[in-house]
Amino acid sequence: MHHFFVSPDQIHRDKIEIVGEDFHHIIDVLRIQNQEKFVICDGDGSDYLCKIGEQISSEKRLTAQILDVYPSESELPYRLVLYQGLAKGKKMDEIIQKGTELGVSDFIPFESQFCVVHLKEAKAIKKKVARWQKIAKSAAQQSKRGRIPQVHLPIFLSKLDKFHGKSLIAYENEKKRSLKEVVQQWEHPVDQINILIGPEGGFAEEEVSTLEKAGAESVSLGKRILRTETAGMALCAQLNYALE
């Protein structure tokens, strides 16, 4: 069943107003028929089972008739925040797409000592983030998420001095602490987990030391070295298996 997002102000007592790109996607791309059912999510925890009501093609507007309302059940029981070192090429696109599918709630790109990508111009940064946000929305619809993850503006890693919840650093030089061992020591339930993934060049030792002083714990993901676009997804999947 197709899945779409709207803002709460588009939702009324027994109908939902759909305009613009969503109208085009429903009518022109997917060609959903009048009696065909689909789901609209308000992005705040509720799903609406709908079918097409009134349709005005000249205004690119349609009314979806609400048939049923129920809680979204696809969100994780904790907030999952991915701090990701800026990566080159299409890697960030892949990280945001797959991370959304795995339940990430916030993506916070960062620039660090070994980054090969540097976003210096404010206009270029905002353009990148806007494109990443569209990728997150598309992936959220495809995976039937209850919320669209937020892609934040990039920050400098050196600015991180405290975290809310539990924080994990995927660090290739960590040989003692496994993810399993660290998670088993936590008091449950955990309301937020922050994952820190270095760029292609990894983390500098002094960066890891600073993050640990801020409350993060470095963990090993195993004996094999993972690429930056793989490490975060592996860590998300392992956490979901252990805690969801």
Of 229 and 59, the structure prediction assigns the larger pLDDT to: 229
HSE of 210 in the Cβ direction (CA atoms, 13 Å)? 14
Domain around 232? 79-243
Say if residue 173 is in the same domain as residue 149. Answer: yes
Q: Are residues 239 and 155 both part of a single domain?
A: yes
64 & 92 share domain: no
| Percent residues over pLDDT 90 in the chain | 63
pTM metric for this prediction: 0.90
How many domains does the chain divide into? 2
The CATH number of residue 58's host domain is: 2.40.240.20
Q: State the Cα–Cα distance between residues 84 and 105, nearest whole angstrom.
A: 13
Rounded Cα gap, residues 177 and 198, in angstroms: 18
Among 43, 71, 99, the domain-final residue is: 71
The mean predicted confidence, pLDDT, of the chain is 91
Are 15 and 39 in a shared domain? yes
Of the chain, the percentage scoring pLDDT greater than 70 comes to 99
pLDDT tens sequence across 79-92: 999 999 999 989 99
For residue 122, pLDDT beyond 70: no
